[in-house]
A = this chain, B = another copy of it.
């Protein structure tokens, strides 16, 4: 059995807790938190919830720690910090800072003789793999990544900061025509606006100036100004009814030509009813790989393209050879 600990008990931590039940070789031994442990109720009350400050006392009781914090401020500090003492897995997803994060975690993991896997979600994660395999199979071509339809937490937060807004959800939606153009193999140059739409569902406070809110959303630089954005005002009840699921997904499409001029298109897509639940499931598979790699003496920091696919699987190699190849 692989002994897991979770650090951080938000959506992702809860997802990992439940994902363990779908993996018969995994056992959750503790949840660590910076909050008051007594404020957290696990589905299984026999598993201890402990203050993060006490985690080092678990060094001999845990094979791998899954970090379920945020990429903005938690993981850049916590993953290198814990990698000195534990094998660790995270879903760090700030793309522009991934090389720096890898370097920091690698240094810590090597100094502690541990194994780490970072950026283990779907993007980065499964989409990184899709981009790598597509490039390897078709060295000449172009790869496109589209996100959605799905809720963007960052964009929803940005709307909620506008004066007069009570609540909001923002969907990122790939433009169907752009997808079709990419699939056709013409390798189009696509602007930001041509790739994705932004659809906003906004609950305004009573008496708020709706026209101003709509204008402020549509003109917000970095978030909305470069996109075709629609703004819909709805009631809090409708928002709760229709827009609470953290659906997401997207597409990685590469089209290119082999050396005699034949065209090929490779497409990988995800349609997820719950972004954090799916990410959690991948984190658990990566935790398995990390433990196996550590047992083989593979020390350092790895991303999914550096991990042998079979190490993610509970199935033995014989079964993979017989049923999956």
A residues adjacent to B (C-beta < 8 A):
15, 18-19, 21-23, 95, 98-99, 102, 119, 124, 126, 128-133, 135-140, 183, 245, 258-260, 262-274, 277-278, 280-282, 285, 303-310, 312-315, 317-318, 320-322, 324-325
Q: What are 21 pairs between A and B in contact, CB < 8 Å?
A: A19-B258, A21-B259, A119-B325, A126-B133, A128-B324, A129-B133, A130-B268, A132-B310, A133-B312, A135-B315, A136-B285, A136-B313, A137-B285, A258-B278, A262-B274, A263-B273, A264-B277, A265-B270, A304-B309, A305-B309, A306-B317
Contacts of A133 in B (CB 8 A): 126, 129, 309, 312
Q: Are A258 and B280 in contact (CB under 8 A)?
A: yes
Cβ contact of A139, chosen from B119, B269, B314, cutoff 8 A? B314
Contacts of A317 in B (CB 8 A): 306
Q: Are B273 and A264 in contact (CB under 8 A)?
A: yes
Q: Are A18 and B325 in contact (CB under 8 A)?
A: no
Contacts of A269 in B (CB 8 A): 266-268
The chain B residue with its CB closest to the CB of A274 is B262
A260 and B268 CA atoms in complex are apart in Å by: 25
Contacts of A99 in B (CB 8 A): 318, 321-322
In the complex, the count of this chain's copies comes to 2
Q: Are A98 and B325 in contact (CB under 8 A)?
A: yes
The chain B residue with its CB closest to the CB of A273 is B262
Contacts of A264 in B (CB 8 A): 270-274, 277-278
The chain B residue with its CB closest to the CB of A253 is B269
Contacts of A315 in B (CB 8 A): 135
The minimal Cβ–Cβ distance linking A222 to chain B, given in whole angstroms, is: 22
Q: A306-B310, A309-B305 are in contact. Are A324 and B262 (CB under 8 A)?
A: no
The chain B residue with its CB closest to the CB of A280 is B258
Contacts of A309 in B (CB 8 A): 129, 132-133, 136, 304-307, 309
The chain B residue with its CB closest to the CB of A286 is B136
Q: Are B310 and A308 in contact (CB under 8 A)?
A: no
Extra contacts, 13 of them, besides A19-B259, A98-B325 (Cβ < 8 A), are: A129-B133, A129-B309, A132-B310, A136-B285, A136-B313, A258-B278, A258-B281, A264-B277, A265-B270, A267-B268, A303-B320, A305-B324, A307-B309
A271 and B253 CA atoms in complex are apart in Å by: 11
Contacts of A270 in B (CB 8 A): 264-267
The minimal Cβ–Cβ distance linking A224 to chain B, given in whole angstroms, is: 27
The chain B residue with its CB closest to the CB of A139 is B22
The chain B residue with its CB closest to the CB of A303 is B325
Q: From A102, A259, A274, name the one whose CB has the most chain B CB atoms within 10 angstroms.
A: A259
